[in-house]
Structure 1
C-alpha cells in the first residue's frame, strides 16, 4: 500500500477545481492552453500536489464561469492550503504531530466518516476517563493535553452547523474490554447511548456471532468528502499513514460495506449496550 501525508486543504481544493472544470465540459489541456500554463501544472493542482496562487484560482474560476460562491470558497481553500506545512515522515514523535494535524484538517472538511474499531471504543466517542486510562497506559507524557485534544475532536460530530455524518462499527468485544475501573467503562457505555441518539451519528455493533469480518484485521478510518475522493487513515503505536490511491481506498470501502452487512442496527446496538450496563450494575 502506498501511504503518504497529504495536505488536506490542497487535496480538497484540487477536487473542487477538478469538479468545476469537468462540469464546465472543458478538457484539461484546453484549460491549460487558455491559462497559458503547462498541462502538468494543472494536473498537480487538481491532485492537490501543488497549491495554486489566489490569482491562479481566480483565473480558473473566470474561465470556467464559476459562481461567486464557488470562487470565494476556492479562494478561501487556496489561502488555507498555502499556509499548510509540507508533509513529513509519519514515523516518530514529530511525524505523529504532523499526522495528527493532517487528520484534524481532514475531519473538519469531511462530510462522512466511518470508524471501524476492534479493541476499544473509537477516539471520537471516548468519555474523558476512558480516554485518560488509554492515553496514560500508552504514554503518560502530556497526557492531560492529549486527552483534551481527543475530546475536542468530537466537535465535528456535535457541532450545530453541518456536523459530519459519523458511523462507528465496533466489535462487541470492545464493549466488554476492561479499561480503567468498572465505573469508567459504565460511563463510556452511557456516553455511547447519548451520542448514538443524535441524528448524524450511527453506532453499530459487530456481534460476536458474525464470526470473522474484515474488522478483525484491524482498525481503519474512512473519510469521505463532497467532491474529493475518499481517504483512509490507519494508525499504529508510533505513527500513522494516509492511503489515497484508488485501489487501496476501494479495498477499504469494500471492507466497510462487508462489515455493515453483518453489523447490528443502531436500535439493536443500543439495546445491547443498555443490557451490558444493566448487567454491570446488577453484578
Structure 2
C-alpha cells in the first residue's frame, strides 16, 4: 500500500513539474524579458544657442502663454520646412563650378541668404542672366526668424542690402568680412538701429552671418573681383526662408507676415527674371522696380 502511494506521489510530482515548465514556456513566449539597458557615460560637447540655431532651429517658447493652436501651428511650420539633401553642400572646387556655369572670376555676382535653411547662394552673371554658382552652408547666425530691430538684440537682419568696395574688410578679426550696410533706407524709415552687420568668417555670430574661413575666402574673392571689374554694388537679399506659397501660408499668422510678403515681391522678380531688381523705399515699404542691368 505504502509503495503504491509513494509511486502515485512521484507521478503527481512529475506532472506538476511538467505543467510548471509548460506554463513557463508559454509566459516566456507571450512576455519576453526586456534586456537591461547599459548606461554609457559619454562626453557631450557643449554648444551655445548661437551655434545651434542654424542647425536645430530652436524656437523661442513662452510656455506660460502658448495655446494649443499656436503649438500645433509651430509643429506644422516645422514639418513644412524644405528638406535640403546633403549633396547640396558638396565641396565642388570653385574653378570647377565656374567652368560648369560657364563664367569667370570678375563677372557680376548676386547673393541670396535664407535664414531658416541656413544657406548662402552665390549667383554669377553669364550670357545676360544670373546663374547659381554655389550654395554654401552658413556656419552660424544668431536670433530667430524676423528682421533686426535695434542695436544689441543679437538678431541677424532680413531685407535687401548691397555691398560696395568700401564695405570690404580684408583685415577683419573674423578672417575676412564685408558689411551688409544695415541699417538701409527701409530700416531707417522704421527707426531701426544697429551697426557692423556682416558676412564674415570665423564661424561665430552676434547678429552676423558667419561662414567657415574656407568658405568666406571663396565668397569674398568673388565679391571683391566683381567690384574691381566694374560692378558698382553687389546686392545681398536676405530672406527668412524660401518664399514659396507653401511657406508663406504656413507663416500667415506670424507677426512679420506683411513684411515677408513685401520681401516676396523681390524674391518673385528674381525667380522670374534671373536678374536682381532695382530696390527702392517708399512709404516705409520696399518698392521693387525694373532691373538696372
* Shorter-normalised TM range: under 0.3
Per residue, is there more helix in 1 or in 2?
1
Which structure is higher in RCO with an 8 Å CA cutoff and minimum separation 6?
A: 1
With normalisation by structure 2, the TM-score equals: 0.24
With normalisation by structure 1, the TM-score equals: 0.25
Per residue, is there more strand in 1 or in 2?
2
Query: Which of the two has higher C-alpha Rg?
Result: 2
